[in-house]
Amino acid sequence: MLLESQVLALLQASITGAGLVLTVYALIIPLSRKIFSYRAEELHEELRELKDRIRETDMRVSSKELKELKAVLESIGERRIFPTYLSWGAGLAFFGYATSTLMSFFWIIDLNKVAVDYWLPFTFFIATIFFLLLGLFSIQDINRTMKKEFENLKEKVEEAKSKADTNAENLS
């Protein structure tokens, strides 16, 4: 009976985990256009900085400058592809939870309930690790997007204030 309750708990947690992976996608989708546009802006800025740095450097590049240029190139390379955490990370987390769910379900319907396969809790644990990483990277992207939105809003407020001040001066 103890084993069965443990497997049922893992089954419930796995189904919940799979649902949470889908929920992260549901939360990211409305922000995806903004997230990707800000990523594109950052990429454009980094490319511009890279071009400026290349123009400024002479033919003899120090190892420090070369490392900095390589770091910029790596950053550009990471930004030009679809975020890995949204493709592989979410996919692996969902697959792990789905596998854990199926393993739990098959154990429950098995007539010879001898012992729980050690792969069941391991699969659930790995899926949870991927889900935690998915959540952290999603929060990071959402945070960056919200900060950028806030900065844009501050600029619009300042612009509206200056227009209001100009209009007030013209009326006086």
Instruction: Say whether pLDDT at 164 is over 70.
Output: yes
For 93-114, write each residue's pLDDT tens digit: 999 999 999 988 888 888 777 7
* Residue pair 24/90 in contact by the 8 Å Cβ criterion: yes
Q: What is the DSSP string of 111-160?
A: S------THHHHHHHHHHHHHHHHHHHHHHHHHHHHHHHHHHHHHHHHHH
52 compared with 150, residue with greater pLDDT = 150
* Residue pair 104/120 in contact by the 8 Å Cβ criterion: yes
Which pTM does this prediction carry?
Answer: 0.65
* Residue pair 134/90 in contact by the 8 Å Cβ criterion: yes
Q: What is the mean pLDDT of residues 56-81?
A: 68
* Residue pair 114/85 in contact by the 8 Å Cβ criterion: no
* Residue pair 142/115 in contact by the 8 Å Cβ criterion: no
Q: Which residues of 124-139 are buried (b: 16+ CB within 10 A; e: fewer)?
A: bebbbebbebbbebbe
Range of the domain at 83: 2-171
Query: Considering its fold, how many domains does the chain have in total?
Result: 1
Rounded CA gap, 144 and 137, in Å? 11
Tell me the CA distances in angstroms from 83 to 56, 78, 144, one per residue in order.
Answer: 32, 8, 14
* Residue pair 45/155 in contact by the 8 Å Cβ criterion: no
- What is the three-class DSSP state of 83? coil
Q: What is the mean pLDDT of residues 140-145?
A: 84
For 112-128, write each residue's pLDDT tens digit: 777 777 888 899 999 99
Rounded CA gap, 130 and 122, in Å? 12
- Which pLDDT does position 125 carry in this prediction? 93
